[in-house]
Structure 1
Amino acid sequence: MKSPQIVALLVLALTLSCAAPPDSRSQEPVSRATVAAGELQLDGQPWWPTGLNAYQLATDWGVNAGCGAMVDLDSYFGSLPDGAVTRFNAFQQLAVNKFSGQLDFAPIDAVFAAAERHDQVVIPVLVGQDGACEDERYKDREWYLRGWEEPTAMPLSYRDWVTTAVERWSGSPAVAAWEPIGEPETAVCGTDDCHWQFRTCPADSAEVLREWTDEVGQLIRQRDPGRLITAGLLGGPQCGLVGDGYKLIADSPYVDVLQYHDYDDAGFLPLRLAQTDKPLVVTELGIAAGSCLPLEERATRIGDRIEAYRAMGAAGAMLWAFVPDPRPYECTYDIGPEDPVREIPQLARE
């Protein structure tokens, strides 16, 4: 015969076992990067991010077809100052095993793991407009209308890659923002290689890009509701951005952070800043150096340009591009591990 104390314990255990499970949302990671009153914050503090594009990070020659040279991930992330941000290619091709043709997430998993070890944040770019490091095919108007949902030579359609990637890495505190595509344009190709001189831009190109932005943004937000989404816009007179096109994309409820890419004199930046109240980060600042400009002079120019962005009202700046194997005797955008630009105050470790 059981004692009253044992009976009471059994009743308590049964009650606890039948209780409703805890709300799984309480276990979701808190997004480190947020927007408050139109300003970027990191861990709840004002944030004016600087950092590097390091598109090659997920290259692993033992697994995937790669995109550039392999990078020592711990060395790279360990070299960054606190509060930096890195933008890298998280393309489906980099999650495909080149021997089996099947999905193999290990190379991209390794990037997120290294970023987490070093308390860093990243912007994963889920595909590129020009097809580089994937099928090398430019994404035309038809891709934005229908092609992004259709089967490809890779295991997944783009739509399925977005859902798979976001679901897989939504639990990582390293994700600062998701970028659905880098430098989108909705042009009609006039030649097989879609050379820019033969492209045309229908009058509704901005509307096509906005509809696509909303649909893909909704896919991402449903799977990672607390995370920022950034529109990877080049920011010039590209198809879909002309006139008020940039503003139309900026107004999407699925765009939290805008982009601008600067390889000349930031001529369109004041206009783009005026077209949105959302944070706008210059995510690609490229100045060629090496045989055409001393690296030290480039560092000085970049420091000055970053300060000009601040004065104009931009929300951050990132350089194009880190590579582990720079070519100092050629004229390139390469930024190697020892490049003097990494010592300027805006990018240096304290």
Structure 2
Amino acid sequence: MRVVRVLVVAAAVALTACTSPAPVTSTPTAPRVEANPSGVTLDGTPWWPAGLNAYQLATDWSVNIGCGAMVDLDSFFASLPPHSLTRFNAFDSLATNRVTGEYDFGPIDRVFQAAERHGQLVLPVLSAWDGACADEVFKTRDWYADGWRAPRRANGSAAAERGFTPTTSYEQWVRIAVDRWKDSPALAMWETIGEPEPLLSRDGPCAPDGHQVLRRFVDDVGEIIRDIDPRHLITVGTIGGGQCGTAGPEYRRLAESPYLDVLQYHDYGADGVPLPGDAYNGLAVRLRQAQEVGKPLVVTEIGQHAGDSPGCASAAQRVDDVTRKIDGQRRAGTAGALLWAFVPDPREAECTFDIGPDDPVRELLARQNRLG
């Protein structure tokens, strides 16, 4: 989702030492999550994951610049249905001490460790299209072409003022992250980047060679990941609605990459409609393209506003609409659904995508999440 909520903390927080718990060192003999043309499996059993986006899980105001509010990790994972899937931000900014500038993997380590304790699965996103909650630099065509290999410069008016001044490249972060967490039994798959679009500038047109640049990026990054971690699946956070690099048949050309195992679609603005979009870029088209290349498609973001604000859908109406949507998508052949987005402090008086700890839509997820 292209709006990220950042909590402003007025009170000072105590600093902790830049030490991190050791990552998981045991190596499973086989990947827990595997993909086939009809869906995904968990430990060899058919699995249709229904879960949440919880982008801020690695926020720790005593260590990093944060991305939204802090979350009680044990309470969160304990509240999920068994074998649920949670998508979260695993950016290098969240593994960097905002005072020393040195890596501190503790906040992300703790997400994996809490998920492991509660038998849950996670989908870490390694970067975002716009630099939100990280260097705050929008990624253009040149970044996808080769800029991702170069050391970065933070946007001084945003990220640097918050305490994050990156010195490594995206490529280096991918290598570090994959090597550190590849053996976690909670790891479902890797997401290279969320919602990529190789535009010529932030508000500019699509690069004429955008689809070629994006395909090469996915291939090159995927090859790096697979070289370090040959066991886990790889995905990329395509919106799927006709964006630059994935419009019409370009989506299929990207899907043909040998370094993409699971395809994605992000669903907003069509409340209660199972198969949104048109004949060129709708979800029905994407499902057909996924079938043609023999790969599963997960709707990794489903967002619907709800709240007590006048004219906004109620929480109960959102449950009805999302139920209709997921039921229809499942019948059409999707391989899972994740809602946008869990927050520990929902703004119930406003009209937002917020899904709090007690939101009734979470009961729907418990019913939809299936193993076997």
1:112-138 Cα distance to aligned partner (Å, 9 max, x none) = 000000010000000000111012221
- Structure 2 counterpart of 1:160: 172
SS at match of 1:230: strand
- Structure 2 counterpart of 1:252: 257
* Paired residues for 1:176-191 under 5 Å: 176-189=188-201
Gaps of 5+ in 1: 1-25
* Paired residues for 1:1-350 under 5 Å: 27-152=27-152, 153-189=165-201, 194-195=202-203, 199-265=204-270, 266-267=276-277, 268-277=282-291, 278-290=295-307, 291=309, 292-344=312-364, 346=367
**Higher Rg:** 1
Indicate if the aligned counterparts of 2:240 and 2:247 stay in contact, CA closer than 8 A: no
Indicate if the aligned counterparts of 2:49 and 2:369 stay in contact, CA closer than 8 A: no
1:347, distance to aligned residue in structure 2 (A) = 5.2
With the length of structure 2 as denominator, give the TM-score of the two structures.
0.83
Distance 1:270 1:146 in 2: 33
1:55, distance to aligned residue in structure 2 (A) = 0.1
Read off the aligned partner of 2:173 and give its amino acid letter: W
1:231, distance to aligned residue in structure 2 (A) = 1.8
Report the RMSD for the aligned CA atoms in angstroms.
1.6
1:28, distance to aligned residue in structure 2 (A) = 4.5
Distance 1:295 1:43 in 2: 35
Distance 2:29 2:114 in 1: 17
1:201, distance to aligned residue in structure 2 (A) = 1.4
Distance 1:172 1:159, change over 3 A: same
1:31, distance to aligned residue in structure 2 (A) = 1.7
SS at match of 1:332: coil
Distance 2:220 2:246 in 1: 18
1:251, distance to aligned residue in structure 2 (A) = 0.4
Distance 2:117 2:246 in 1: 38
SS at match of 2:133: coil
Read off the aligned partner of 2:190 and give its amino acid letter: W
Gaps of 5+ in 2: 1-25, 153-164, 271-275
With the length of structure 1 as denominator, give the TM-score of the two structures.
0.88
Indicate if the aligned counterparts of 1:306 and 1:317 stay in contact, CA closer than 8 A: yes
Distance 1:75 1:349 in 2: 21
Indicate if the aligned counterparts of 1:235 and 1:261 stay in contact, CA closer than 8 A: yes
Distance 1:348 1:274 in 2: 23
Read off the aligned partner of 1:209 and give its amino acid letter: L
1:312, distance to aligned residue in structure 2 (A) = 1.3
SS at match of 2:51: strand
| Higher RCO (CA-CA < 8 Å; seq separation 6+) | 2
Distance 1:121 1:247 in 2: 28
Distance 2:56 2:29 in 1: 27
Indicate if the aligned counterparts of 2:343 and 2:354 stay in contact, CA closer than 8 A: yes
Indicate if the aligned counterparts of 1:29 and 1:171 stay in contact, CA closer than 8 A: no
Read off the aligned partner of 1:117 and give its amino acid letter: R
Distance 2:264 2:185 in 1: 22
1:46-74 Cα distance to aligned partner (Å, 9 max, x none) = 11110000000000000000000000000
Distance 1:334 1:27 in 2: 36
Read off the aligned partner of 2:250 and give its amino acid letter: G
Distance 2:333 2:36 in 1: 16
Distance 1:232 1:264 in 2: 18
1:18-54 Cα distance to aligned partner (Å, 9 max, x none) = xxxxxxxx95453211113542101100111100000
Read off the aligned partner of 2:303 and give its amino acid letter: G
SS at match of 1:83: coil
Distance 1:170 1:327, change over 3 A: same
Indicate if the aligned counterparts of 1:303 and 1:346 stay in contact, CA closer than 8 A: no
Read off the aligned partner of 2:301 and give its amino acid letter: E
Distance 1:74 1:349 in 2: 22
1:301-329 Cα distance to aligned partner (Å, 9 max, x none) = 11111101111111110000000000000
* Aligned residue-pair number: 318
